[in-house]
Amino acid sequence: MADKTLTRMDLAEAVHKEVGLSRNDSADLVESVLRHISDALVRGETVKISSFGTFSVREKAARVGRNPKTGEEVPIHPRRVLTFRSSHLMKDRVAAGNKG
């Protein structure tokens, strides 16, 4: 495993190299993509990106949790959580690339 961490900067660099836009414009576009996906999710929409994966928002009901340290009961309020389901293409590529 290579074990490197990529950031927004690396994604912008890829856009800069691939499309030839300036690094600044490339960074803005990376930000736009993340913002549009986030905004749709906040509106409660499912975001389905073919050959990448699906982001969906799930409603979790209220339940009683417990502080694991003190054993004290604490109410957990109903909340919305985000789940990501990768596409078959992504699963296959990640499995193949990390084999052996």
Partner 1 sequence: MIRSELIQKIADENPHLYQRDVDRIVSTILDEITDAMANGNRVELRGFGAFSVKKRDPRVGRNPRTGEAVTVEEKHVPFFKTGKLLRDRLNGK
Return the biggest CA–CA distance within the chain.
Answer: 57
Closer to partner 1 at the Cβ: 66 or 91?
A: 91
CB of 71 to partner 1, least distance (A): 26
Among 22, 23, 24, 52, binds partner 1 (CB under 8 A): 52
Sort residue 20 into left (φ over 0), alpha (ψ -120 to 50) or beta. Answer: left
Please select the residue that binds partner 1; options are 42, 65, 66, 76, rule is CB under 8 A: 42
Return all residues near 23 (Cβ < 8 A) that are at least 6 apart: 12, 13, 16
Residue 64 lies near partner 1 (rule: CB under 8 A): no
